[in-house]
Amino acid sequence: MKAAVIYQKGEMPQYVDFSEPAPKNNDALLVTVKAVAIKHLDKSKASGKHYSSNELPGTGRIAGGDGVCLLPNGIRVYGMAINGMLAEKALIYKDRIVKIPDGLDDATAAALPNAVIGAAMGLKFKADIQPGDTVLINGATGFTGRVAVQIAKYYGAGKVIATGRNQQSLNQLLLLGADEIITLNEDNDQFESALTGIHQKAPIDVVIDYLWGSTAEVILSILKGNGSFTNKIRYVSVGAMSGEFIQLSASNLRSADLQLTGSGLGAWTKQQVNGLFKTILPEMFGLAAEGRLKVETELVRLENITDLWNMEVPDGKRLVVIV
């Protein structure tokens, strides 16, 4: 079979002939792959920089972790791969599949799950979002951030504040459910002033942060209390596009009812992951099929993977490989 194989960490995947995988136990299914989204997670793991990266075997490893595929009986599902997904055939976990509605195209179905995981898991399980909450999404102009804005509204957020550097993408977020937008630039003083004004009028209850770095420091400084009672604030780190480290004042944690947590691989319980596959993903696929959850994709072919692996796609779109 043809596959996109990575032989050395940091190298581009190669379009080559590769041995078709065979199930080794009853927990695995051999499927025909239809579409696979290329995500920051895939590239980070391929480079060896992600905390969940494993050593590459001497024979190389198939890139990609999840996608749309056909079961042996022809049913179309979303599945998570055991040993890579960017190939004509793949092994998937039997207990990590979701049937795809007939009205949803392959590209959208492949692109959506990672963003749902990066948005809904944090909002629902880590932030315990409640109807009427004011939600700040830091770094909302990317694909996952745009999905997070829509899911926050779907979950009942009373107000959604979105930040980002691309003004055009920020303006589009207003059409997707954002109530306030704040432009990020080199001058953190302007960002601090704008967010402080919003926070004073409608105290922030939930922060979903895809950036971390200096913007996280600004947000946390705004959330710091002055000794009086504060609302319960749930700050969830999902990504670190602006840097892995911050300086955090101890008074931030003592002066406000602040819960600081993360949402990612290793941070969820088994029950929460089960809920993702049994409830959250089916629900979000249904919303997308009805046109109530909107995403944009950029389509490429598997045979062009080496040239397109690092392709820059417009803000808010996801690169999807059609197999």
**189 and 307 in a common domain:** no
Q: Is residue 238 part of a domain?
A: yes
Start-end of H helices in the chain: 40-47, 106-120, 143-154, 167-176, 188-201, 213-223, 250-255, 270-275, 281-289, 305-308
**163 and 246 in a common domain:** yes
CATH number at residue 33: 3.90.180.10
pLDDT per residue over 5-24, tens digit each?
998 877 889 999 999 999 98
Q: Is residue 108 part of a domain?
A: no
Closest CA to 263 of 148, 149, 112: 148
| pLDDT beneath 50: ranges in the chain | none
**94 and 119 in a common domain:** no
Radius of gyration over alpha carbons of the chain, in Å? 20
**167 and 86 in a common domain:** no
Closest CA to 2 of 308, 306, 259: 306
So what's the pLDDT on residue 72?
A: 94
* End residue of a domain, out of 239, 262, 285: 262
**241 and 180 in a common domain:** yes
User: pTM for the whole thing?
Assistant: 0.93
* End residue of a domain, out of 216, 246, 262: 262
C-alpha neighbours within 13 Å on the C-beta side of residue 156: 9
The tally of domains found in the chain comes to 2
So what's the pLDDT on residue 60?
A: 85
> DSSP string covering 130-147, please?
-TT-EEEEET-SSHHHHH
* Cα 94 off chain centre by: 22
Which range marks the domain in which residue 157 is found?
A: 115-262
So what's the pLDDT on residue 52?
A: 57
Q: How far apart are CA 74 and CA 283, in angstroms?
A: 22
**86 and 46 in a common domain:** yes
CATH number at residue 203: 3.40.50.720
**185 and 151 in a common domain:** yes
